[in-house]
Chains A and B, each alone.
Chain A
Amino acid sequence: MGTFIAQFLSGLAGAASLFLVASGLSIIFGVTRIVNFAHGAFYMLGAYAACILANTLSGALGFWFSILASVLIVAVLGALLEMTLLRRIYRAPELFQLLATFGVTLVVEDLVVILFGPDDLLGPRAPGLEGAVTIAGHAIPTYDLFLIAISPIVLGLLWLLFNRTRWGILVRAATQDRDMVAALGVNQKWLFTSVFMLGVGLAAFGGALQIPRDAVTHQMDLSIIVEAFIVVVTGGLGSVFGALIAAVLISELNAFGILAFPKISIVLIFLVMAVVLVVRPWGLLGRPTGPARATLGLSIRPWRPMVPSRRLAVAGLVVLAGLLPVVAGPYVLSVGSEILIFVLYAASLQFLISTGGLVSFGHAAYFGLGCYGAALLATALGWPMETALLAGPLLGLAGAVVFGWFAVRLSGVYLAMLTLAFAQICWSVASQWVDVTGGDNGILGVWPSAWASKPWAFYELALAVAACGVALLRVATFAPFGFALRAVRDSELRAEAIGIRRSRVQWAAFVLAGLLAGISGALFAYLKGSVFPDAFGVSTSVDGLVMVLLGGMGSVSGAVAGAGVYKALSIWLISVTDYSKLVLGLLIVACVVLLPRGIAGIRDLLPRSLFARGTAR
């Protein structure tokens, strides 16, 4: 019984920071519709600021002042970010802000190492709360009791703020209907800035409160951001109370999961989120959102297939790319192969996002399944490359069949988070099922057949596969299936009225995209010669999103350019500098501000006459 109580209290204490970060994320999303990827970075900055201040100032006063000061400092940083960056891109397509805040995260990760050094920092213990109280025969840290009290207090204060102040009423109104609030003459600019500041301040508070328990490291951001997303989505978007319930649920699950299944506690929270979303598609306390007002804004200028002259030009480009081995050495060719593999991967995601309107945060699932499919066939069954490449991607296809079936029951951010959960479940299987997957040591020795082991031969193979894959996706987009998919994206109600079943069409889109991502994964396994669980990692999924967004969401094959630019840049940067994340992040932010439609949007800046004949996008 004592253990039970002790675990319960630890779970509650663990929920505090998670709740603070998640509630901030939820509030920001509710009003500004920004999926703030940089939220974890602000959490980390809060911890760094508090830790450095508290180590300089001594005494109880110094400690609590440090906590408050760090919250204010980071909140002001957040406001500056909102005013200088986000304000410029509210009008950009949805999710573009995700790209911008992702860039900010990259910058901050390197910046803290440059500013505060590579070593982990240790903050002081909270003065007066260092000890423990004995409850039911167990020593419970006093600081844990303090943390347990924090969540309801913050919840209460937020409730007062939203329900008893004019500002709060305006914010709630904006959450319900942004356009209406604007029409009533409320200065949206400052409303958004203040909301962003509040959300960021909550994240920083969550980070600052961790310093008596945790070490402050430059990787804190990633460890919290995914969990915070899970809490927000499980609790229901925009619901602060829901965030609290979900934070407590997930923390308790961690605490008791450790007693019951110490090895699988990694997946437990993803499994719970998946179950919650399948049963309650809008989270525990979320409300169903109405049909989206505006989609990608493509209805005005619909896509058209390419005119013959442009097809010829594209064919010419492919031939030109095929001539690369004439001039390039083996290293350039292996980089070229990698870029082509990611072109196919990003194009498959682009198809889901642009054509299908289905934002997947877990596209790495199919990529990774393709990797493992090919690698297992090659090593466990000893299949030659040719057959393993053909059959391996079927595992990606199978994954898409299963996950897609669940995912299409949801929409928007909920769908995105469910796909993320599936990718994470795949990741844990890959890293835990050591007998089959080799665990973290991966599968080695997946090298191509003799004929394809020359870099030029493998490059040509990758080029052929990528070109066929992208062509197939374009054909699918302009086939009746593609039109149906676009119809359900643009208006579900009208599409159903003319007899198009949304779930079935979107499911098919998942399966097609999953198969092509699986093919790119299988090729990737043979390019690298080995596969590891990080093929399923969040960063693989995010890389895909960045490529699509960079290339331009509102285009059919912008991902081709996005993947090429992003992959080439990141390979080159990591080769020449240790601060590749800093440079890459800054470039992404610059791209977002200068090219809010992505690389494919460059043409909008050029005189139209240049494209008089080819109007396809």
Chain B
Amino acid sequence: MRILSRLAVAAVMASTLFAGGASFAADTIKIGEINSYSGLPAFTEPYRKGWQLALEQINAAGGVGGKQLEVISKDDGGKPATAISAAGELTASDGAVMLMGTFFSNVGLAVSDFAKQKKVMFLAAEPLTDAITWSKGNAETFRLRPSNYMQAAMLAEEAAKLPAKRWATVAPNYEYGQSAVAVFKQLLSAKRPDIEWVGEQWPTQGKIDAGPVVEALLADKPDAILNVTFGGDLVKFVREGTTRGLFKDRSIVSFLTGEPEYLAPLKDEAPTGWIVTGYPWYAIHTPEHDAFLKAYQAKYNDSPRLGSIVGYVTMKAAAAILAKAGSTDTDALIKAAEGLPLDTPFGPIEFRAIDHQSTMGAFVGTTAVKDGSGVMTDFVYRNGKDYLPDDATVKGLRKAP
């Protein structure tokens, strides 16, 4: 025991020396970044390329307030508990002044709750759940992507123009799918009281049994279908649906399907004539987007996905917030972020003070197959600020200031 305790004392002394020696360089500002890199590489790899490009541009232009930005990036493996560990490491030991990132809604919510508890600013990039800005929103959390509600509102607007009266839905059986269907139903029924909801399918996320799901939908005899499945489930659903004639003479309205992440893997089997939200990078011709596209393709020799845009804009937003705040104090950052205007490849956006949601929008269009791959045609950019409820409703939904 005596030896052991001597060893312990020696260890204590050694580690204090070590800790004392590690002071951090004051000429950089550190931002902590968390995402599901190993869990969902198809979406997060382009996202990482996006923020890395933006970071390079920001630092090449002199950084923020004369200081270079440094991003310390962590993988959460798709698990909220791991994300909390990462957030703890980033803030407590790596010296990050704010957090950004996350993909899954539950991971985003866990980090947002951490941010509230530890009083650190969090810029959520990808999570779509409405809860993160409304029912469980907090002062420290801001969110970039158009929320579930906003995308549902954009699609419901298009859906209301269709003659279809009998609607069925198919959505993955977890929070994202459930709330997407609920909001869409509510908004569409409000616009079109004559609509009838004739069936709903809730396949397990990642495990759709596509044949039976398609047959069950056929049995409901709908005029139109709302689809919320994505990724591998979407591929199976499209293949079975095409073979079994589900999409023939029916209108399909579909969340996210126009995003290159989900449309490109379908190649020439991509569905045609679906009304979708997405990102037609190949056909957007604005100076802002051209500049982004050129820089992205030059750096990576690859086409951007929606994740690339999200990563790019998140990074730019973080830099803009830091620049406006002129400090790394959390309260100053929150104050700077509220109402912050920002120029993006999609045009100008703003982080609303009322609920910390950005007004970034999405492209709504129709799918088609061109040169053996799926594309979006006849698309319009829908500005996010036009698809949010009025301020009184938002105040009712959001408890936090």
Minimum CB distance partner of A251 in chain B: B209
Task: Assess whether B51 is interfacial by the CB under 8 Å rule.
Answer: no
User: Does A326 touch B at the CB level, under 8 Å?
Assistant: yes
Query: How far, in angstroms, from A469 to B34 measured CA to CA in the complex?
Result: 34
Name the A residues within 8 Å of B209 (CB-CB). 10, 14, 251, 254-255, 258, 265
Q: Does A160 contact B (CB under 8 A)?
A: no
Q: Cα distance A138–B217 when bound, in Å?
A: 12
B216 with A534: CB separation less than 8 A? no
B45 in contact (CB, < 8 A): yes
The residue in B19, B85, B93, B269 that gathers the most chain A C-beta atoms within 10 A of its C-beta is B85
**A575 touching B267, Cβ below 8 Å:** no
Does residue B190 face the partner (Cβ distance < 8 Å to A)? no
> Does B206 sit at the interface, judged by CB under 8 A?
yes
Can you list, as one digit per residue, whether each of A112-130 has a CB less than 8 Å from chain B (1) or not (0)? 0100001111100100001
Distance, CA A294 to CA B374, complexed state (A): 60
CA distance A574 to B200 in the complex (A): 39
In the complex, the answer to whether B84 meets A332 with C-beta atoms within 8 Å is no
Asked if residues A442 and B232 are in contact (CB atoms below 8 Å), the reply is: no
The CA-CA distance from A331 to B173 in the complex, in Å, is: 36
Q: Which residue in A14, A214, A254, A441 is a CB contact (below 8 Å) of B131?
A: A441
Min CB–CB distance B235 → chain A (angstroms): 4
Partner of A14, one of B136, B211, B218, B235: B211
In contact, B219 and A10 (Cβ under 8 angstroms): no
Bound-complex Cα distance A14 to B211 (A):
8
Given A7-B215, A113-B41, A329-B19, check contact A258 B235 (CB 8 Å). no
Q: Does B370 contact A (CB under 8 A)?
A: no
Bitwise interface map of A from 313 to 329 toward B, beta carbon under 8 Å scored 1, else 0: 10010001001001111
Residues from chain B with a CB closer than 8 A to the CB of A334 are 85, 88, 92
Chain A residues closer than 8 Å to B211, beta-carbon distance: 10, 13-14, 141, 144, 255
Chain B CB within 8 A of A223 CB: yes
A295 to chain B: which residues have CB within 8 Å?
A: none
User: Given A213-B210, A258-B213, is A330 in contact with B92 using a C-beta cutoff of 8 Å?
Assistant: yes
Bound CA–CA A132/B173 (angstroms)? 29
Cβ of A571 < 8 Å from any Cβ of B?
Answer: yes
Distance between Cα atoms of A122 and B264 in the complex (Å) = 10
Contact code string A1-38 (vs B, CB < 8 Å = 1, else 0):
00100110011011000000000000000000000000
Interface set, chain B 217-247, CB cutoff 8 A to A: 218-219, 231-232, 235-236, 239-240, 243-245
Interface flag for B251 (CB, 8 Å): no
Interface 1/0 per residue, A89-126 and B, CB below 8 Å: 00000000000000000000010010000111110010
Provide the residues of chain B in CB contact with A14, threshold 8 Å.
Answer: 209, 211-212
Q: Please tell me if the beta carbons of A3 and B218 are within 8 angstroms of each other in the complex.
A: yes
- Taking the closest CB of chain B, its distance from the CB of A535, in whole angstroms, is 8
Partner-contacting stretch, out of A64-72, A272-280, A577-585: A577-585
Instruction: Give bound CA distance, A212 to B206, whole Å.
Output: 17
A481 adjacent to chain B (CB < 8 Å): no
A7 touches B38 (CB 8 A): no
* B12 interface residue per 8 A CB criterion: yes
B residues near A574, Cβ cutoff 8 Å: 38, 74-77, 82, 86
Check A529–B117 contact: CB distance below 8 A: yes
Which of B41, B93, B113 contacts A445 (CB under 8 A)? B113
Q: Does B255 contact A (CB under 8 A)?
A: no
In the complex, are the beta carbons of A329 and B232 less than 8 A apart? no
Give the size of the chain A interface in residues (CB under 8 angstroms).
83
Residue of A138, A217, A440 with most partner-chain B CB within 10 A: A440
Interface assignment of A173: CB less than 8 Å from any CB of chain B:
no
Q: Is B114 an interface residue (CB 8 A)?
A: yes
In the complex, which residues of chain B have a beta carbon less than 8 angstroms from the beta carbon of A265? Answer: 202-204, 209
Chain B contacts for A579, CB-based, 8 A = 38
- Min CB distance B50 to A, Å, is 14
Contact B212 A327 (CB under 8 A): no
Tell me if A214 and B232 are in contact (CB < 8 A).
yes
**Selected interface stretch from B103-111, B323-331, B336-344:** B103-111
Contact A529-B269, Cβ < 8 Å, known A10-B212, A441-B136, A574-B82: no
Closest residue of chain A to B76 (Cβ to Cβ) is A574
A-B contact count (CB 8 A): 220
B278: chain A residues at CB < 8 Å are none
CB contact under 8 A between A213 and B38, given known A439-B178, A440-B175, A574-B75:
no
B129-158 contact mask (Cβ, 8 Å, vs A): 1 or 0: 101000010000000000000000000000
Bound CA–CA A413/B133 (angstroms): 46
* Chain A CB within 10 Å, residue with most, of B116, B175, B211, B216: B211
A363–chain B nearest beta-carbon distance, Å: 16
- Say yes or no: is B299 at the interface (Cβ < 8 Å to chain A): no
Name the distance in Å between B260's Cβ and chain A's nearest Cβ.
Answer: 10
Question: What residue in chain B is nearest A110 (Cβ atoms)?
Answer: B38
Given contacts A259-B216, A442-B109, A530-B113, contact A581 B15 (CB under 8 A): no
Contacting A434 at CB < 8 Å: which of B5, B12, B178?
Answer: B178
Q: Which of B1, B42, B80, B236 has the most CB of A within 10 A?
A: B80
Distance A219 CA – B212 CA, assembled complex (angstroms): 22
Q: Is the beta-carbon distance between B243 and A118 smaller than 8 angstroms?
A: no
With both beta carbons as reference points, the residue of chain A lying nearest to B44 in the complex is identified as A118
Complex Cα spacing A571 to B85, Å: 8
Contact A529 B114 (CB under 8 A): yes
Instruction: Report yes or no: A139 in contact with B212, Cβ–Cβ below 8 A.
Output: no
User: Does residue A131 face the partner (Cβ distance < 8 Å to B)?
Assistant: yes
Judge if B380 is at the interface, Cβ distance under 8 Å: no
Q: Known: A326-B12, A575-B86. Is A331-B93 also a contact (CB below 8 A)?
A: yes
B239 contact set on A, CB distance < 8 A: 125, 212-213
Partner of B243, one of A113, A139, A313: A139
B4, B45, B136: the one contacting A444 at CB < 8 Å is B136
Tell whether B335 is near chain A: CB-to-CB under 8 Å. Answer: no
List B residues 37-87 near A (Cβ within 8 Å).
Answer: 37-38, 41-42, 45, 74-77, 79-82, 84-86
1/0 per residue B10-51: CB within 8 Å of A?
Answer: 011001100100000000000000000110011001000000
| Residue B196 is within 8 A (CB to CB) of chain A in the complex | no
CA–CA, A130 to B92, complex, Å?
57
Residues 270 to 305 of chain B near chain A (Cβ within 8 Å): none
CB within 8 A of A441: which of B93, B105, B219? B105
Task: Confirm or deny: B125 has a beta carbon within 8 angstroms of a beta carbon on chain A.
Answer: no
A431 at the interface (CB under 8 A from B): yes
Q: Which residues of B contact A10 (CB under 8 A)?
A: 209, 211-212, 215
Q: Check A258–B206 contact: CB distance below 8 A.
A: no
Distance between A389 CB and nearest chain B CB, rounded to angstroms: 18
Given A7-B215, A254-B209, A213 contacting B240 (CB threshold 8 A): yes
B265 lies within 8 A of chain A by Cβ: yes
Complex alpha-carbon distance, A579 and B75, angstroms? 9
In the complex, besides A10-B215, A574-B74, 14 extra interface pairs with C-beta distance below 8 angstroms are: A138-B215, A213-B236, A258-B209, A262-B200, A262-B216, A320-B8, A334-B85, A334-B88, A431-B174, A434-B175, A444-B109, A444-B136, A445-B117, A534-B79
In the assembled complex, 29 residue pairs joining A and B whose CB atoms fall closer than 8 Å, in A order, are A7-B212, A125-B269, A138-B218, A141-B243, A143-B243, A213-B236, A214-B235, A215-B236, A254-B212, A255-B211, A262-B201, A265-B209, A312-B1, A316-B5, A320-B8, A327-B15, A329-B92, A432-B173, A439-B175, A440-B106, A441-B105, A441-B106, A441-B136, A524-B81, A532-B80, A534-B81, A571-B85, A574-B74, A580-B75
Instruction: Give the B-binding residues of A (Cβ under 8 A).
Output: 3, 6-7, 10-11, 13-14, 110, 113, 118-122, 125, 130-132, 138-141, 143-144, 212-215, 217-219, 223, 251, 254-256, 258-259, 262-263, 265-266, 312-313, 316, 320, 323, 326-332, 334-335, 338, 431-432, 434, 439-442, 444-445, 447, 455, 524, 528-530, 532, 534-535, 571, 574-575, 577-581
Q: Which 3 A-B pairs have the closest CB atoms?
A: A118-B41, A10-B211, A215-B235
